[in-house]
Amino acid sequence: MGGGRRAPSSYLELLQAARREGCRRLASWLAQARAARVRVQAKLVEGGPSEQIRKVSGWWHADLIVIGTHRRTGMRRFVMGSVAEDVVRRSRRPVMTLRGR
């Protein structure tokens, strides 16, 4: 871990550090969106990304799921899977994908 932080010594510390970092990033993204006058909702959840995205979109009765892609191809995609592809295939809600850089 950079920025003068020490490395976690246990799985629980690693999980707590990941939660803190997730909360920090989410707060930053929300502030940017709200500054641009975009109406947003967010919730930090734990679990499989595709499943959680679909679950939360249902809780919120989302009109649209917007999800980015990493442009993985070939073996990397096969090994790592594609969250965006799984959401597109399995979601009951409309999904728009945005291609990564």
Do 37 and 63 have their domain in common?
no
Do 40 and 27 have their domain in common?
yes
| Number of domain units in the chain | 2
Predicted TM-score of the model (pTM): 0.69
Per-residue model confidence (pLDDT) at position 81: 62
- What tens digit of pLDDT does each residue of 39-54 get? 888 888 989 999 999 9
Do 54 and 12 have their domain in common?
no
Do 40 and 51 have their domain in common?
no
User: Which residue range forms the structural domain that includes residue 92?
Assistant: 47-101
Do 89 and 59 have their domain in common?
yes
Do 78 and 93 have their domain in common?
yes
Q: Which helix (H) or strand (E) holds 98?
A: strand 95-99
